[in-house]
Structure 1
Amino acid sequence: MQTTIRTERLILRDPVLDDWAAIHEYSSDPDVVRHSMWGPNTEEETREYVEQMIEMRQEQPRMSYELVVTLKDSGELIGGCGIHKAGFNAEIGYTFNPRFWGRGYASEAAFALLRFGFEELGVHRIYATCRPANEASANVMKRIGMQREGRMREHLFFKGKFHDSELYSILRQEF
């Protein structure tokens, strides 16, 4: 079953293989992935990621949604976002092409994921994390109504060192 979420300016949809080049444009950019556990991607890694995203659709019941974000008016792929359900909780995340930063697209897509999680997936709590230095991501979480729960100290190891994460969440009744 194809997942499509429409907002005022965006369409969030399941990816197709031909999306890999647009995804690679931002997933290979060191500035974009500076705070991420992954990347910068090689072309092969991006193609494998797109294949994994497509395979997620086969999950029964489907618990993971990795979607591409496109502009409603032009269809241009500008980023990606995801929601992953685990019991009564779900985690969201988002990554955008820097050519489209600062226009509110991440907040619009993340808010759409909240609505999808609460209304379609029936979760009770949705959370997200970011590295402490990633103020732009923290601002998105605040803008969509998430509350900071605290800092998880050195709970992740990637790119050769331990990292902290800021944890934000929102409950269904707060949405």
Structure 2
Amino acid sequence: MSIHLPLETPRLILRDFVESDWQGIHSYASDPEVVRYLPFGPNTEDDTKNYLQTEIKAHRKRNRQNFALAIALKEDKQFIGTCRISITDPNKSEGSIGFSLIQKFWGQGYATEASQKLLEFGFQQLKMHRIFATCDPRNNLSARVLVKIGMRQEGYLQEYELIKGEWRDRLLYAILEKDWIQMQIRNV
């Protein structure tokens, strides 16, 4: 499998993390509003630095299965958030995606743009058959992004995950490669 990074969109660069990203990561990972529906946070500085070191080490793995990437603005290289695609089941050619942005960059289409690129990367480079994502049912912004990129809600998972001491429901969204290809044909 030949992997080509960084990934570029009209406005963004999705790239592997570097040491200097820790402050950008910390600005969203320590924000209670950003992490309200996420299984981590609000982070301490040590939490964020440990996360970053773990991800930088993962970049070097030979058969890489997780691609946690920094999202930076193309025009000035400013760090605005992170996104990821993970191969969750290589036997089924299945993967998952996720994203988190610094709050001041919400509502500007960046999560949609980055997520569309993750789907392209997943289907074209990682040769995925199916890509899914989950989000908290109360997280309307994330659910809207998943629908915009062509995912369909496949399920409602009750008390699926223990997050911050509370059993939380999750919405399950997914898209198949054939449906993604049809979307690309329609958008040409």
Counterpart for residue 15 of structure 2: 13
Which one-letter code corresponds to 1:58 in the other structure?
R
TM-score, length of structure 1 as denominator length: 0.98
Counterpart for residue 130 of structure 2: 125
Candidates 55, 77, 80, aligned match of 1:78: 80
Counterpart for residue 121 of structure 2: 116
1:72-128 Cα offsets, whole Å, 9 max, x none, are 001000000000002110000000001100000000000000000000000100000
Per-residue deviation at 1:2? 7.5
1:140 partnered with 2:121: no
Counterpart for residue 92 of structure 1: 97
Moved segments of 4+, more than 2 Å: none
Indicate if the aligned counterparts of 1:2 and 1:14 stay in contact, CA closer than 8 A. Answer: no
SS of residue paired to 1:36: coil
Distance 2:25 2:64 in 1: 23
Per-residue deviation at 1:161? 1.2
1:52 partnered with 2:54: yes
Distance 1:155 1:133 in 2: 14
RMSD, matched Cα:
1.0
> How many equivalent residue pairs?
175
Distance 1:25 1:161 in 2: 24
Counterpart for residue 111 of structure 2: 106
Candidates 57, 61, 76, aligned match of 2:63: 61
TM-score, length of structure 2 as denominator length: 0.91
Per-residue deviation at 1:3? 2.6
Structure 2's unaligned 5+ residue stretches are 181-188
1:31-46 equivalences under 5 Å are 31-46=33-48
1:153 partnered with 2:158: yes
Distance 2:37 2:5 in 1: 28
Distance 1:2 1:66 in 2: 14
